[in-house]
Amino acid sequence: MERWDTAFLPHGDSVCVVGVSSARGGCVGLWDTRHSGTPVCQQSLQLPPSLQQSTWVPQVVAGGGTVLLSVGDTVSVYNPHSLQLLFQHDGHKQKDQAVSVTSLAIHPTVERLVFSGDNRQGLQAWIFNPDTEKTVTA
């Protein structure tokens, strides 16, 4: 049985569903709710076998013109129309400690401001710039 996490996403004149699964290497997909049989677009996550075989499910949050996806200690930012990877935030990584991002939130009024929390009680506020590979962490 595949486990999925999903979120609604306004997409043009309709509402889409973005979903993520860790099965078979992991994938993130976008479905138009008017024609839900085939994804509008889909991207492979190429997860390591250790994450594919667990009961853990990646987390997805959509809004503010972005799709956020947490996989282990990393948060990825995707374009909501093409699911193209825009940015990766790895600020939760800790040397010699297993860390998992457990919560994600997109600020409702500040563009590109994201809050992410982890299982080590770390809470980070960061702004991503899709034109760079760096984050600004508060």
- Print pLDDT tens along the chain (138 aa): 678 899 999 877 888 999 998 888 889 999 998 887 889 999 999 888 766 666 567 899 999 889 999 988 899 999 998 999 999 999 898 888 888 899 999 999 999 999 999 999 999 999 998 777 554 555
Phi/psi of residue 80, nearest 5 degrees = -75, -15
Please, what's the b/e burial string for 53-81 (b: 16 or more CB within 10 A of its CB; e: otherwise)? eeeeebbbbbbbebbbbbbbbbbbbbebe
Q: pLDDT at position 131, please?
A: 79
Three-state SS at 18:
strand
Q: pLDDT at position 53, please?
A: 62
Output the pTM of the full model: 0.86
